Amino acid sequence: MRKELLSHNILHIKHVSKTKICVWLFFALHLFSIWAFQHYMIEAVWAKYNVTPATVICLFILLFLLPFSLSGKLKIKPQWYSMIFYPSIFIAALLSQEHLTLLCVTASIVVSGIFVLLVYKLPLPSNRYAITNVTIYLIILVYYSVFADTRELTHYKYSIVHYMNIGQYDKALEIGDKSLHIDNEVFNLRTKAMLMTNTIGDAIFKYPIPENPNMIQATDDMNTHQKQDVVLCNLLLQKKLNLFVKKLQNWRDLQSAELPQYYKEALVIYLSKTIDTDIIYNDPATQTDYSDFIAEMKKHSDRQIRSNVCRDLYSDTYFWYYFFFPSVRQ
C-alpha cells in the first residue's frame, strides 16, 4: 500500500513539474515575442519618461522574474499555476498601449478582477494540471490581444520611425513592404524615407497608397531636388498630368537614363492622351509595358474584373494607379 502511495506521489510530482516547465516555456516565448514586436513602440511612447532601449530590456527581464517571486510567496494550487504569469502580462499589456488612458487602465483592472474570481470559483479538475493551466494561459493570451495595441500598422509606424531616427532609411523602407495594409501615418513616413534616399520617383507606387492620401510635405532639411520631387509626386497622386509634365520639363532632363520610372510612366500616359505637343520622348521598354497594360484592360469589359486583373499584373505601376485608383481629395 505504501509503495503504491509513494509511486502515486512520485507520478503526481512528475506530472506537476512537467506542467510547470511547459507553462514557463510558453510564458518565456510569449514575453519575448511581446518585446520583439512592441519594443520600438514602448521606447517611443514612454520616451518622455527617459525610457531607453536598455530600460525596456531591463523591464522585460523583471517581468520575466516576477513569477519566480510570486510562486515562492503565494501558495497556488497546481491547477492554477499559470496565474502567476498574469501580473507580468497585465503590465506588458499596459506598456504596449500607444495611447494609455484612465478608461483603459480601469477596464483592465475590472476585467482582471473578474478573470481572477472566475478562475478561483470555477470547479477546475484537480488532476488535469496540463489542461487547466493551458486553458488559463490561453485566456491570458486573449486578454493581452484585447488590451495591448497589437495593430500591424502601429508596429510598422514605430519600427519605421526607429530606423529613420538612426539614419537607416533603406531598412525603414523594408518594414511592412510585403503588406497591403496602409494608413496615412505609415504612408507619410515611407515617403519621407524615399525622399531621404532620393528614390521616391522609383518607389512610391511600389507600396500601397491609402485612400485619400495626405499630400507629401516638404521640410526645411530637404534640398531643391527633393522639394521638386515632392511637388512632382503630389501631382502624380492627384493625377494632374498636364501640370506634372510642365514642371518635369523645367526640372528634369527627359532624355536622361536616370529619369525615375514613375515619371517615365506618367509621361507615356500623357503623350498617349495628348495630340498637340512638342515633347519628344521615346522609351521603348516603358512604352511596351504601357501597350501591354492597355491590351490587358481591353480584354475585360467589366470594370471590377478589369481592375482586379490589372492589379494582379500591374499594381506596382503608375499605369494601374492612374486608371483605377479612386481620385484623391485636393
Rounded Cα distance between 37 and 26, Å, is 16
Tens of pLDDT, residue by residue over 189-248, are 999 999 999 999 999 999 999 988 989 999 888 999 999 999 999 999 999 999 999 999
Mean pLDDT (whole number) for 140-163: 92
Mutual orientation of helices 2-45 and 86-95 as an angle, nearest 10°? Answer: 10
Predicted local distance difference test score (pLDDT) of residue 8: 45
Q: In this prediction, what percent of the chain has a pLDDT beyond 70?
A: 92
What are the grid coordinates assigned to 43, written together? 521606447
Predicted local distance difference test score (pLDDT) of residue 6: 47
Residue 225 CB burial class (10 angstroms; 0-12, 13-18, ≥19): exposed
Q: Measuring CA to CA, which residue among 164, 67, 85, 80 is closest to residue 118?
A: 80
Rounded Cα distance between 87 and 313, Å, is 50
Cα angle value 100/175/157 (rounded, 5°): 25
Other C-beta atoms lying within 10 Å of the C-beta of residue 137: 21
Pairwise pLDDT comparison (254 vs 125), residue with the higher score:
254
Mean pLDDT (whole number) for 69-78: 78
Every domain of the chain and the residues it spans = 2-148, 153-324
Predicted local distance difference test score (pLDDT) of residue 13: 56
Q: Are 83 and 197 in contact (CB under 8 A)?
A: no
Predicted local distance difference test score (pLDDT) of residue 87: 92
CA distances from 170 to 9, 173, 201 (A): 60, 5, 15
Round the average pLDDT of the chain to a whole number and report it.
88
Rounded Cα distance between 39 and 263, Å, is 38
Q: Are 300 and 306 in contact (CB under 8 A)?
A: yes
Tens of pLDDT, residue by residue over 5-28, are 445 445 445 656 777 888 899 999
Give one DSSP letter per residue of 117-137, joined into a string: HHHHHS---TT-HHHHHHHHH
Tens of pLDDT, residue by residue over 259-297, are 999 999 999 999 999 887 888 888 899 999 999 999 999
Rounded Cα distance between 216 and 236, Å, is 11
Residue 215 DSSP code? P
State which H helix or E strand residue 22 sits in. helix 2-45
Predicted local distance difference test score (pLDDT) of residue 308: 92
Q: Is the pLDDT of residue 154 over 80?
A: yes
